[in-house]
Structure 1
């Protein structure tokens, strides 16, 4: 394997690493490009005291920390204020806000083991919680908890003491525990129950069947729509939103299944006046044994190509 091939084999996991740090797929891809540029330029000075993989992670983490000096944290609507209750009073997109973005699972090289292994640390709720941590504390948590680096190695990399790393990790864990749900709170149903739930959800949405959706959503479900800052909490308010905004009628929309952040997702296309179906939003679902407990509906058609999806389709096939 030549050097270019060795670098390339780590690209997916490096993008995932930078995504955890930055909360943005596009920023993460830029960070990995910068990482490879620095690695090519500095390879002559690589002394081999660590593996190339570890060396690349060091460079990538440093690139991310530098980027975070000049950017604000990525937000989700529920972090900005109380939920809305009136679907007719939503307002427009808040384009001045730096919003959290979803991560396409296909970027993990389609390795099912890698997707499962990264699932907890890539879940939207976890990445959103990471954004609340100061950059160096965020790096400590990711390096120690996700990459399993020894405390001494993290301390050497960050030019601090092992005691400081352990203290920072303890504070980061406490904040994440406060903000992110525990593993048992989002335990997905087993197959084939999970499969049936997703099939029923897609069918109900395609047909705008609110009665069916009512049976699929949990009582405490939430609906967020970045870059729209208004969000809705609770099944009754979410159903009022859907009743007001989801246009009824056969053949008005199609849902294409995909996956993001280790979670099931659907790309939503809406039929336009030209009779073609155009990208509308990308919905990332959180499933529990009780049903669909949250939906992040990213109103970002520009995200579709990252998921290997076209921005328009001529038919439902």
Structure 2
């Protein structure tokens, strides 16, 4: 890749990664598609016409169409709450469904500086990405390009090889589909960062102490707990608390939590103590916090997710 070409396209690599993630719902697949986008752009560099489109628009056209090709014949990436109703049995078998292509979280470390993360906060919420996955791929692309990235309808039509009328029609259908699939939490105002940090800090202290009552006290009435790749999910304080009692009975009651962030939301990596006195990586937990408390915890137990967040598999004893 020559220096001039690299200088023109590299500034867009990070935002293209976020775009491909929104389309695909998996970080490793998004990284592969960005690489594919850069390769296709390199091969087509002599045909690029700056009079027709900016470099950014040209790259988005390549990336979007690469994503649409990758999504052909593919199942959507859901969360457990998108597959059926909540469980009322806290002792149900925790059998993973490894045949389901589960939605994955996005590490905030890949988003750039804090100002950029703040800009992306609303459009990267995990629940919103999950709702987008329920849309047909072309509707998903139109929604992202028009409502998230704010490309004009005519430009999106050029990107997708469609007419502006077709783009506007697809956008209306996508908005209607998103409204039907998107959780209520997306319409609720978020507390300020200080209030969010306070809730997460209290959750961490309660979890490390295996304090179920302390955890439950932080939850909203309709709090959701879900745990891909296990297809179960639980709704409400009581169900959440009874499952946590089961977890602490199954695992050690000594834990260490490491703060991180995913999808511009607070997250923690949970480590449980092993027989050697160290702590073994157990899960990545991504929180949704409302003004009235913690409303959702999506708990990931997936080696690919751990790798994307560069989480150490083990912490030594304190």
Q: TM-score range by the shorter chain?
A: over 0.9
Tell me the distance in 1 between the aligned counterparts of 2:138 and 2:278: 47
CA offset at residue 272 of structure 1? Answer: 2.1
Tell me the distance in 2 between the aligned counterparts of 1:251 and 1:171: 48
CA offset at residue 315 of structure 1? Answer: 3.2
Tell me the distance in 2 between the aligned counterparts of 1:147 and 1:236: 40
Q: What's the counterpart of residue 93 of structure 1?
A: 96
Q: Which of 69, 79, 95 lines up with 1:66 in the alignment? A: 69
CA offset at residue 187 of structure 1? Answer: 2.2
1:29 lines up with 2:19 in the alignment: no
Is the deviation greater in 142-151 or in 266-275?
266-275
CA offset at residue 43 of structure 1? Answer: 1.1
1:180 lines up with 2:178 in the alignment: no
2:28·2:308 contact (CA, 8 Å) conserved in 1? no
Q: What's the counterpart of residue 198 of structure 2?
A: 196
1:57 lines up with 2:53 in the alignment: no
Q: What's the counterpart of residue 291 of structure 1?
A: 293
Q: 1:294 is paired with a residue of what secondary structure?
A: strand
CA offset at residue 250 of structure 1? Answer: 8.4
CA offset at residue 15 of structure 1? Answer: 1.0
Query: Structure 1, residues 239-268: CA drift from partner, whole Å, max 9, x if none?
Result: 000011124998721111111011100011
Q: Which of 166, 169, 184 lines up with 1:167 in the alignment? A: 169
Alpha-carbon spacing, 1:238–1:182, altered in 2? closer, same or farther (3 Å): closer
CA offset at residue 305 of structure 1? Answer: 3.1
1:245 lines up with 2:256 in the alignment: no
CA offset at residue 183 of structure 1? Answer: 7.2
CA offset at residue 118 of structure 1? Answer: 1.3
Q: What's the counterpart of residue 262 of structure 2?
A: 260
Unaligned runs of 5+ in 2: none
Is the deviation greater in 200-209 or in 298-307?
298-307
TM-score by length of 2: 0.94
Tell me the distance in 1 between the aligned counterparts of 2:267 and 2:312: 16
CA offset at residue 175 of structure 1? Answer: 1.3
Alignment of 1:70-219 (within 5 A): 70-109=73-112, 111-181=113-183, 185-219=187-221
Alignment of 1:276-287 (within 5 A): 276-287=278-289
Alpha-carbon spacing, 1:248–1:69, altered in 2? closer, same or farther (3 Å): closer
Unaligned runs of 5+ in 1: none
Alpha-carbon spacing, 1:158–1:90, altered in 2? closer, same or farther (3 Å): same
1:300 lines up with 2:302 in the alignment: yes
What's the C-alpha RMSD, in Å, of the aligned pairs? 1.9
TM-score by length of 1: 0.94
2:61·2:160 contact (CA, 8 Å) conserved in 1? no
Is the deviation greater in 58-67 or in 265-274?
265-274
Q: 1:222 is paired with a residue of what secondary structure?
A: strand
1:4 lines up with 2:27 in the alignment: no
Q: What's the counterpart of residue 313 of structure 1?
A: 315
Alignment of 1:13-24 (within 5 A): 13-24=15-26
1:280·1:300 contact (CA, 8 Å) conserved in 2? no
Tell me the distance in 1 between the aligned counterparts of 2:232 and 2:149: 35
Tell me the distance in 2 between the aligned counterparts of 1:283 and 1:187: 21
CA offset at residue 275 of structure 1? Answer: 2.6
1:208·1:248 contact (CA, 8 Å) conserved in 2? no
Alpha-carbon spacing, 1:280–1:36, altered in 2? closer, same or farther (3 Å): same
